[in-house]
Structure 1
């Protein structure tokens, strides 16, 4: 019997104890979601919480269908979603092409690090609402200030992640590349950048999450469409079902983008965790 239990729990070939956290967790996540949904249904159907504070999932679903067809806050749900997607993805793309190169330069050049590190570390802990008034004063209330606010929120974690990735590169790899005749630019592109990719993708995951978090603050000022605007407008009229629906839609999109980045990371960095 003991011999059978030992064989059943044996690790994969080449692994004595198995990797920490190894195994699929999708089923556990699905069960957790179903349990939470069941609790939500039970609480609302039993009348333990007033609908004003927590509407039932069926009410939220009906509001979702109504928002798709009839609209809410002067636009359909699709129009709100497209407006928010444009802002978040535009800010993310802009941060990606600026923060990653700056972060890499901060890791390889002390002058660049000395220039940007105090600025990033100063504003990074600040909530976006703290510098939102300044952005309005400087840039007005058009579309660009909304994208710029989200961009600032995404920029800091991306730049810091890129810098951390550069600092984690093995010195032996750099010396080996120089010994084989590589130039400084070749070392940066072929050795440092590739070694920093895992940290950069981690920064991308954090950044896209921060971007969706900042969306509501960005759409507080003179917005006419957007998921954050829809949630804020519904909150003024105590429309809890619309607020919860908007929160769920934002969460679904944020989670979907996180899964996409995880997939790209798995495809582009197959060596992560193996070297």
Structure 2
């Protein structure tokens, strides 16, 4: 204790001139700490940015490269005369035929008329399939009786190619416009109904129990819980169904048609007009691609929770 007191006295005994003197007044105002100016604000981290989810990111550059590579290969092969124009016409010949058919027409109809008839058939059948297949698929998912009634016929005819039951449709309904639309409708109905059923069956049971515990009725659970949770699968079925519908278009327009893209392709093939055939294939693929892009956009708007819950 005496040592501590002696130490403290010795410290106090130091002259004041040895201690740093603090100025009483300062001419300059106290400076505030400087903060860095952040040019770019922090963005929320997307799921998978830290660890890298397989397949994440935009594939637009790779898609454009693939399209340009295929087009360049087509241009090089045809202009170097490695393949005869009868089997594969050049892009210039296909474009010239496109302008000719768009202005003068082919088989007594212009390209716009052929396209309009085919779009009316495909999208008319698609609308009818959406109005019937989605409710049937939902009923198959929520009711074992409905599943027992609809599942056997759908699973039976689903793997059959449309050309297999095309003669039967002609015998039953004739060769009018209804038989063409009905054939495309059957091709779209099966994948759309199965997708709706799969979406209903994938709903979490905890969500259903939570809705019932909060006093929801069975109808409210189906409309506001099950149907909303099944929307991603339903949109996938719609995209698959419209692709199958475009595939069936050629088969449907084999039945006593006088217009349509499928009819144009078949009629041109009989006369070995390969430039018209390729042009028709490109037009069909273009509209199918545009509809698929449109469906993806609508899905992002209406089902923003897909892949996040």
TM range (shorter): over 0.9
Q: Which runs of 5+ in 2 are unaligned?
A: 1-43
2:270 is aligned with 1:236: yes
What residue in structure 1 maps to residue 295 of structure 2? 261
| CA deviation profile, 1:36-75 (whole Å, cap 9, x unmatched) | 0010010000000000000000000000000100001110
| CA deviation profile, 1:153-204 (whole Å, cap 9, x unmatched) | 0000000000000000000000000000000000000000000000000000
CA separation in 1, counterparts of 2:46 and 2:288?
37
Q: Which has the higher contact order (CA 8 A, sep 6+)?
A: 1
Task: Select the structure of larger CA radius of gyration.
Answer: 2
What residue in structure 2 maps to residue 194 of structure 1? 228
2:90 is aligned with 1:56: yes
1:98 to 132, 139, 142: 132
What residue in structure 2 maps to residue 132 of structure 1? 166
CA separation in 2, counterparts of 1:264 and 1:64?
31
What residue in structure 1 maps to residue 239 of structure 2? 205
What residue in structure 2 maps to residue 274 of structure 1? 308
Shift of 1:90: 0.1
Shift of 1:111: 0.5
The 5 Å alignment of 1:32-43 reads: 32-43=66-77
CA separation in 2, counterparts of 1:142 and 1:18?
55
Shift of 1:18: 2.5
CA separation in 1, counterparts of 2:64 and 2:47?
31
CA separation in 2, counterparts of 1:187 and 1:19?
33
- SS of corresponding position for 2:230: helix
2:119 is aligned with 1:119: no
- SS of corresponding position for 1:50: coil
Corresponding pairs, count: 265
Shift of 1:19: 2.5
2:115 is aligned with 1:77: no
Q: Could you tell me the TM-score, scaled by structure 2's length? A: 0.85
What residue in structure 2 maps to residue 247 of structure 1? 281
- SS of corresponding position for 2:70: helix
CA separation in 2, counterparts of 1:208 and 1:243?
21
Worse overlay, 25-34 or 91-100:
25-34
CA separation in 2, counterparts of 1:31 and 1:268?
31
Is this contact kept in 2: 1:107–1:166, CA < 8 A?
Answer: yes
Segments of 4+ in structure 1 off by > 6 A?
none
Shift of 1:25: 0.8
- SS of corresponding position for 2:89: coil
CA separation in 2, counterparts of 1:174 and 1:193?
11
Higher helix share: 1
Shift of 1:22: 1.0
| CA deviation profile, 1:191-245 (whole Å, cap 9, x unmatched) | 0000000000000000000000000000001111000000000000000000000
Q: Could you tell me the TM-score, scaled by structure 1's length? A: 0.95
Identify if the C-alpha distance between structure 1 residues 106 and 13 changes in structure 2 by more than 3 Å, giving closer, same or farther.
closer
CA separation in 2, counterparts of 1:251 and 1:217?
16
